[in-house]
A and B are shown apart, each in its own frame.
Chain A
Amino acid sequence: MTLETIESEIEANVPGCVLEIVSNPSPSGQHSLRIDPAHAVAIATFLRDAEPLRLDYCSNVTGVDWPGKEISEKVKIKKLVDGVEQEVEEVRKTQTLGHLEVVYHLYSMEKKHGPVILRMSTEDRADRVHLPSLTPVWRSAEFQEREIFDLYGVIFDGHPDLRRILMWDGFQDHPMRRDYVEPDDFEYEPTPHDEVLERARQHRTIMGVQ
């Protein structure tokens, strides 16, 4: 079954959904289907249960970070230079928002075919990072979605147990994001030792010793 027929099947059965085929130029030829988050659970349930496909096995859930880019373009603008109107080139810079993406690789254990690849994107990378969880449809997504929440910061609505899974609970950031910067010291705590060191440093400065 080609991706085009899968797309039309979904469109016929899930009213109102917005789908887009994302083509993959690499020799693997694994094209994917971008689905809209609002209908994701309905689409997933349809793909799992509908007869010709029966994608009962959600193998892999991946988070991908696409940070915003600065796009600079040259624009010609008419300007008054020394009282004469001239065409001047100007560089205009625009910042795109960027987004976080979640990719699901689906197989069928019953019919032994696959993969069918679904993608979903958040609106941006800051505070509109909510996506519906597909764990109620495929339980296998439970730990993998928790991992994406932990490492990328996507919030899965409807996930039964959304907690950090690999990093510790008090950890703040999302280390798999492209712009993550590792702190110098994860477990910095001021200790009495620091005061002693500071006094020793001052002493050395006073004494003129480096």
Chain B
Amino acid sequence: MSTATEAIRIIPKSPGANDEGQWLEVSMGPQHPSTHGVFRMDVVLDGERIVKLKPVFGYLHRNHEKIAENESYLGSMPYTDRLDYFCSLTNNWAYALAVEKLAGIQVPERAEYIRIITAELTRFQNHACLIGFLTQDMGASGTPLMYAFREREKILDLFESLTGARMMCNYMRFGGCRVDLPAGWIEQARAAVASFPRFLDEFEQLLASNEILMARTQGVGVLSKEFAVNAGVSGPVLRASGVNYDVRKADKYGIYDRFAFKIPLGEHGDTYDRYMVRLLEMRESLKILELALRDIPAGPIVDPKTKIRGFRPKPGEAYAHIEAPKGDLGFYLISDGSSNPYRYRVRPPSLVNLTVLEELCIGHNVADVVVILGSIDIVMGEVDR
């Protein structure tokens, strides 16, 4: 964090050239409602136009990695919930996957299905809410967001009856899941999934050809394919720029190779494409969910050979990554044979996606910064760790 003592500062464009006008340095955030958490941008303006933009963060930094290095392997599972607090189940999965790679643990069939079902439900609610927040940032105050929250409620109810918590689920375990599905859960999930296409139709009808949304998003914040790849952008933001990379397809972790689904790609890489890719991805998630809820077998939910207490993986290291709703979420672990990881590293997709924010915003107006930031989809719990 830079030491900004004043919120607004006037800078001459060039020394001694007073008649050309001045630049204005504005501190946007950290209490700005559109910054999705305590996040600040040092913006240099030429009138309404962005000249420079430096993201400043760290306000939520709690040194998650250090905490995890002083905690047993299982003990940091609840902390992973707090990274991207919208999608705790995918965080759990990524961490469990890394530990399973490190210790060579197999996951039973039923647990793999449960993982895919919960992960896709998480993706669905994350994308729905993100679109709600994005439109709220554009001034559509409330309606789309409340529609999204109405559907999210159904998913959070499912999570609550399964894990006992609505957002901080702490559900995955090494070698499987913590508890089995309660009676009637699959029927409830099927009913919820069956109701979502109608919601998506309604959502699309409301927004996709909305003139204001198109005017505010089309051609705004264009991210080129080459720059997106080089900057390590991942998730829907990358695919909106037309790069066909989805860890679910590229790595086929879990049992994603058994499901037929498409990867929606954008053409222009602008904010509208980032919005549209998420909308289409939600439809693909529903396809996976329908198949998984149909095919889920009976059986154990956790590998009985896995030790819960006194878990000490052999010395070595492992890196595992998954396609979280925000992008490529990775966990890197180094074990020295003791009960705590020697090194525990989170590869946060939100942080790396912020790399491109300045380039996307330069030349646009102040109001567009809010929309571009909204379309990148960050959660400060994950950026700051």
Cβ of A46 within 8 Å of any chain B Cβ, yes or no, is: no
A166: contacting residue among B61, B231, B345, B355, CB under 8 A: B61
- How far is B42's CA from A169's CA once the two chains are assembled, in angstroms? 15
Query: Given A60-B345, A169-B1, are A24 and B317 also a contact pair (CB < 8 Å)?
Result: yes
Cβ of A168 within 8 Å of any chain B Cβ, yes or no, is: yes
Contact B2 A27 (CB under 8 A): no
Contact B57 A175 (CB under 8 A): no
**SS class, residues of chain A in contact with chain B:** loop
Cβ of B232 within 8 Å of any chain A Cβ, yes or no, is: yes
- Give the residues from 138 to 188 in chain A that come closer than 8 angstroms, CB to CB, to chain B: 138-144, 147, 151, 163-170, 175-176
Cβ of B372 within 8 Å of any chain A Cβ, yes or no, is: no
Cβ of B330 within 8 Å of any chain A Cβ, yes or no, is: yes
Residues of B within 8 A of A64 (CB): 334, 343
Contact B58 A168 (CB under 8 A): yes
CB distance from A56 to the nearest CB of B (A): 5
Cβ of B191 within 8 Å of any chain A Cβ, yes or no, is: no
Contact A115 B319 (CB under 8 A): yes
Contact A59 B328 (CB under 8 A): yes
Contact A139 B231 (CB under 8 A): yes
Cβ of B21 within 8 Å of any chain A Cβ, yes or no, is: no
Residues of A within 8 A of B61 (CB): 166-167
Cβ of B250 within 8 Å of any chain A Cβ, yes or no, is: yes
Contact B58 A26 (CB under 8 A): no
Residues of B within 8 A of A (CB): 1-3, 57-58, 61, 63, 65-66, 101-104, 227, 229-234, 243, 245, 249-250, 313-319, 321, 328, 330, 332, 334-335, 343, 345, 347, 351-352, 354-355, 384-385
- The contact sample of 28 A-B pairs, CB cut-off 8 A, is A25-B315, A26-B316, A27-B102, A28-B102, A28-B316, A28-B319, A30-B101, A59-B232, A59-B328, A60-B332, A103-B332, A109-B245, A112-B250, A138-B230, A139-B230, A139-B231, A139-B232, A139-B355, A140-B230, A140-B231, A140-B355, A143-B351, A144-B352, A163-B2, A164-B1, A165-B57, A169-B1, A175-B63
Residues of A within 8 A of B (CB): 24-28, 30, 56-60, 62, 64, 103, 105, 107, 109, 112, 115, 117, 138-144, 147, 151, 163-170, 175-176
